[in-house]
Amino acid sequence: MPLTQDQQDEINELRSTTTQTLRATAPGMEKHLYTAYPVLDHGFVRVIDYMGDDNAITQAARVSYGKGTKAVSNDEGLIRYLMRHWHSTPFEMCELKLHVKLPVFVARQWIRHRTANVNEYSARYSILDREFYIPAPEHLAAQSVVNNQGRGEALSGEEAERVLRYLRDDAMRCYDHYEEMISQDDQQGLARELARMNLPANVYTQWYWKVDLHNLLHFLRLRADAHAQYEIRVYADEICKLVADWVPYAYKAFEDYRMGGATLSSTALDCVRRMIKGEEVTQENSGMSKGEWREFQALL
């Protein structure tokens, strides 16, 4: 279970207390507030706070015309127009604050997204829990033979068992030594900020992560993508579900233009035009490299 009883009690308490507000709220997001959604074996994502909704986007785009008399379908149309034309600042009017529990090696990828505000659990001040990410057997995969940055078939048999044993045993041994080094029973005890050096990259950390919707969608575009590592993708997938309920028009437009859409180079666009005219276009006469052509074919 990813949450302690204290944390669960706090969530129950928060969800049982309501306050009146004049601010706009998004009913789709209210139902998720504070609830922790499990990710990986010990991780979670939960919404701590949010600001804005689909209306906040259109309102900013119209520079405070307010809701006025615009029909709902116009709001959706405007959001699609903004997304289509990369008019991104209205999306920055919405904000999301998440509490995330994640393995350190996932946090290292995540923190590369610089356009967020972060507060991480301090392992200088506090003691990290004995919690490590151990992949489920189906995710214990071999190195990909086609992609240096990816994984291939799942390991099986004795090799899978040995790898799992190493991951578990090494993590436990490192944690035992961590605990022993910081202990102040009959010794001075090593500082926590130094002892943590001994912990492996699959140990869990936690942070609050606040980001505006524009940059969140950029994060999701990159990390909910098939090219992203599975262990960060599952977090992005969970966040996608929250965003879909929070700002349904914006999320639908994002799915359509960004997640499901594609960008073509002028060379690729020229090939499409030639194909439509009935010309036989091959890699050799396309003007594209082999790799580019492969990606173009996959896209089509």
Ligand X SMILES: Cc1cc2nc3c(=O)[nH]c(=O)nc-3n(C[C@H](O)[C@H](O)[C@H](O)COP(=O)(O)OP(=O)(O)OC[C@H]3O[C@@H](n4cnc5c(N)ncnc54)[C@H](O)[C@@H]3O)c2cc1C
- Catalytic sites, residue numbers: 223
| Shortest Cβ 94–ligand X spacing (Å) | 16
User: Which CB atom, from 12 or from 147, has the smaller least distance to ligand X?
Assistant: 147
User: Which CB atom, from 74 or from 144, has the smaller least distance to ligand X?
Assistant: 144
User: Which CB atom, from 181 or from 222, has the smaller least distance to ligand X?
Assistant: 222
Sign of CA dihedral 285, 286, 292, 297: negative
Give which of 229, 255, 251 is closest to 242, Cα–Cα. 251
Contact track, ligand X, 218-237, x by CB under 6 A: x---x----xx---------
Amino acid residing at 283: Q
What does each C-alpha distance from 131 to 4, 34, 96, 127, 263 come to in angstroms? 12, 22, 27, 12, 41
| Shortest Cβ 221–ligand X spacing (Å) | 9
| Shortest Cβ 274–ligand X spacing (Å) | 31
62 is an annotated ligand-binding site residue: no
86 is an annotated ligand-binding site residue: no
Give the whole-angstrom CA distance, residue 24 versus residue 69.
18
Instruction: Give yes or no for residue 167 binding ligand X (CB under 6 A).
Output: no
149 is an annotated ligand-binding site residue: no
Contact track, ligand X, 110-139, x by CB under 6 A: --xxxx------------------------
20 is an annotated ligand-binding site residue: no
User: Which CB atom, from 205 or from 215, has the smaller least distance to ligand X?
Assistant: 215
89 is an annotated ligand-binding site residue: yes
User: Which CB atom, from 36 or from 211, has the smaller least distance to ligand X?
Assistant: 211
Question: Does residue 263 contact residue 86 with C-beta atoms inside 8 Å?
Answer: no
Question: Does residue 198 contact residue 177 with C-beta atoms inside 8 Å?
Answer: yes
Answer for which of 215, 251, 253, 254 binds ligand X (CB under 6 A) is 215
Using only C-alpha atoms, the chain has a radius of gyration, in whole angstroms, of: 24
Give the whole-angstrom CA distance, residue 52 versus residue 94.
5
| Shortest Cβ 39–ligand X spacing (Å) | 18
User: Which CB atom, from 47 or from 228, has the smaller least distance to ligand X?
Assistant: 228
Which part of the chain contacts ligand X (CB under 6 A), choosing from 38-46, 95-103, 151-159, 215-223?
A: 215-223
121 is an annotated ligand-binding site residue: yes
- Size of interface with ligand X, in residues (CB under 6 A): 9
42 is an annotated ligand-binding site residue: no
Amino acid residing at 78: L
Nearest residue by C-beta to ligand X? 114
| Shortest Cβ 130–ligand X spacing (Å) | 30
| Shortest Cβ 138–ligand X spacing (Å) | 21
- Binding residues vs ligand X (CB under 6 A): 112-115, 215, 218, 222, 227-228
- Residue ranges of the annotated binding site are 89, 109-114, 120-124, 196, 212-214, 218, 223
Residues of each annotated binding site for FAD: 89, 112-114, 120, 212-214, 218
Annotated binding site for dUMP: 109-112, 120-124, 196, 223
